[in-house]
Chain A
């Protein structure tokens, strides 16, 4: 009979199965999205490609930011932002969209907000790989160097931050359905407030000292500038006299990522607690 395994073993099995379940749900989302389409997965490259063309037109030609090889600068920050905002946006609907499941099956509810993280994560991986290949292919070798390693802590903090917000918004949206709309607007604002399509130098010009430090309480600011340091990796001088990157060194970014990590960690604690408390009543609120 089923009771032959020890309680410990059963607990371990349950945790392993939970990760498997998450992988299965991500796989399902991917299959459902791309099954039957001719180009399949390659469609996921269309979005960043389109943004690249449009933003290059606007910021290089029309507004003349003066950033050389603007495309690579843009994509350094844009890819990670898209991953983050895509996941958080989708997480709003993660629980309400699976209402049938939640009301009828007992399963570890924590996998629901994590599924969009996996889903956008897969896309991000593909896009990053393509970006690196294109950089190599076009002879853009600035990114080859020790600063590339900064990508690792940057992505770790992105994951932490994304997961924290996914737990929060997915749980809140069940009870307050306009969370979705608030998130949409906030993400839109966030895109512009973060130095993704422009250099952070334009901001640091106006903020000094402690206030400039506060700017990095927003984890994305630290993440975007770090990704630019790691991938774009060059620090030319703009026509206005500013430098493109936030800082030419490494420590600056590690410090900012440290702040981002603390903020994200606290948000994660909050997010998990909120999710745990609200998830007990999901089945009847949906």
Chain B
């Protein structure tokens, strides 16, 4: 079932800033057109393709365009350019209790909200008890909603939304409301949805939730998708964005066309088919292929490969021995062969070409992570150890 559930193709969304926008016919006729209308691009050429049955987390700093992207995917906003395609019924939870009217009772609001979200009266009748159960508001359900607390409000809204039976669920930060017990309930429901093969895209600031629930993470910054891949690494990328005020370092940096990184292949044997997960002790090979011009072939003294964990923490380093420079211009490929270390986790590789004195000349990194599993529990590293039991007679004083 890997057909695409929802897809955005090079979506750009431009908002015109309304400072001086004519809002009446009189103003339109009197003023000249187009003066003083500022604009900004909330999204720039964002492409995202989600196969059905996957859960994707969308994270980024405030103002990065996450909600805008969600609204464009939901069909609420029209993209300025680009296309959106969806297969299946979409339910978007951009705000809980949309359509709630304070004067009406919880019961009336459930029916109204359900109707807005696309349920027929008959379906709502059938689901009503389940909705009220989920919201834990049975004794208040006939009171006017204006008397509800904000937590109760959110619970009711989520209860209805969760029963809508969508193929694709778009959620915008609404899991943050409610107490922890309720949050757990919501997450359990989402797991249920995942098991049922529904597609979920959700925006959250709770990064640990993203790592826990999603199988893919997308990071948006200033309207552009800056990372699309492993959820743990997505969170790591975002944390780097928060931590540094400088723009994110580019993945790949070469001084000119004289150096190009052609391929970085992680496999079991050099040149073999790509492998993405290994058990401790299994053979692991990393092949790095580059193309160097004459000038750079003379300048490059060595290649370093660093395996990095989440947050780009260097875990182990492999480098070419001295005097292993490229022979001449053209293709320069290096194979690193090792036994997979007894580590647990997901890793990416950073590759650096260095010149005299270790001076960095060019670098790049992989975006697909590979996994190591040692079968160990309770830690990143499996360390061999021995246990000796103290015999009762050896114990000094019992």
Instruction: Point out residues on A near B: beta carbons under 8 Å.
Output: 1-3, 10, 13-14, 16-17, 20-21, 24-25, 28, 31-32, 35-36, 100-107, 175-179, 182, 280-281, 283-284
Contacts and interface: CB of A to CB of B under 8 A. Distances in A.
Given A1-B196, A20-B120, A32-B104, A105 B94 contact: yes
A20 B101 contact: no
9 contacts: A1-B196, A2-B167, A17-B120, A24-B111, A24-B121, A31-B104, A100-B98, A106-B75, A283-B76
B185 interface: no
Contacts, number: 89
Interface string B96-122: 001101011000100110011111110
Interface in B161-210: 165-167, 196-198
Given A17-B120, A176-B24, A103 B76 contact: yes
B112 A24 contact: yes
B275 interface: no
Could you tell me the dominant secondary structure of chain A's interface residues? helix
A35 B74 contact: no
B184 to A, nearest CB: 25
Contacts of A280: 78
Interface of B: 15, 23-26, 28, 71, 74-78, 88-90, 92, 94-95, 98-99, 101, 103-104, 108, 111-112, 115-121, 165-167, 196-198
A17 B119 contact: yes
Nearest to B23: A177
A106 B167 contact: no
Contacts of B103: 31-32, 35-36
Contact of B95 (A24, A104, A178): A104
B112 A281 contact: no
Given A16-B120, A28-B101, A178 B196 contact: no
B31 to A, nearest CB: 13
A106 B104 contact: no
Contacts of A14: 118
Contacts of B117: 105, 107
Contacts of B101: 28, 32
B118 A281 contact: no
A2 B165 contact: yes
